Amino acid sequence: MIAKLKPILLITLGALVVAASGCNVINTLRAKNSLNEGVHDFNKGSFEDAEKKFERALELSPDLPNARLFHARAINARFDQALTEDLGMQTIKAYDDLMNRNKDNLEAVDQSLAFQAAVYDKLTGLDPTKAQEYKQKQRETLLRRAELASASVQTKADVYYTIGVGYWKESYELNYQYAKANQTIPSDVLERMKPHVQRAHEYLQKAISVKPDYANAWFYESLVYIEDAKTEQQDAAKRKQLLAHVDEYRAKYIKMQKEQAEQTPSK
């Protein structure tokens, strides 16, 4: 289990440069002070107070370094606590504002897209009637990360892997109740599974093509072949062929896990 870390903002007080004059200098100093107070509130877990102070800093000095990022992070933290759709959409907008102000800062854009994708993922569980809409927005946001000129091999592989696993999960959730009860999966359910299975294959294979040693992608591809085999209930030969891929991919995963363990220095 991954431990849930308390969000913390870091700021170098001497890094903010005052480059204006007159009342602009005063506003910048006031904004800097509000920003520092907001960081203090954020690190105490007082996210609403921090958000207000970051908003004040932006009012006084819209281009103050870090203020827009910290403002977005404060709203994001409030969303993580309350998990309401309204706060989720406020978080999405805050990161949109950040990206619009930093279009040439690919690192800031990448981080904003990553946070937005995480928000969309959480939103899928809040309102079943909007789950598919938010899942699609999550996928679109993730793909924007992969398409950035600065996207690393690992980022691209992670994006494709995450999308592929999501499609696998959708297929699995459609039929697990039947599999658990050892019942025949209804034909209409099988038809609904097929596009999810095809998409899962597509994105997991993309992850593997980008990063061939991505062990978890090989493992989940084996699980997708199990889903694939379920859809071929009337074709024993095809089902056998698909299940053979399960063994192939799982063996590849086990081999990679062993090799990676051997390469990891012992403590």
Over residues 128-161, the pLDDT tens digits come to 999 999 999 999 999 999 999 999 999 999 999 9
What pLDDT does 1 receive?
Answer: 39
Instruction: Tell me the pTM.
Output: 0.86
Any domain includes 91? no
Angle between helices 47-60 and 23-44 (to 10 degrees): 170
Q: Print the domain residue range for 175.
A: 152-260
> How many separate domains does the chain show?
1
Any domain includes 76? no
Any domain includes 138? no
Any domain includes 168? yes
What pLDDT does 35 receive?
Answer: 94
Any domain includes 229? yes
Any domain includes 201? yes
Any domain includes 131? no
Any domain includes 87? no
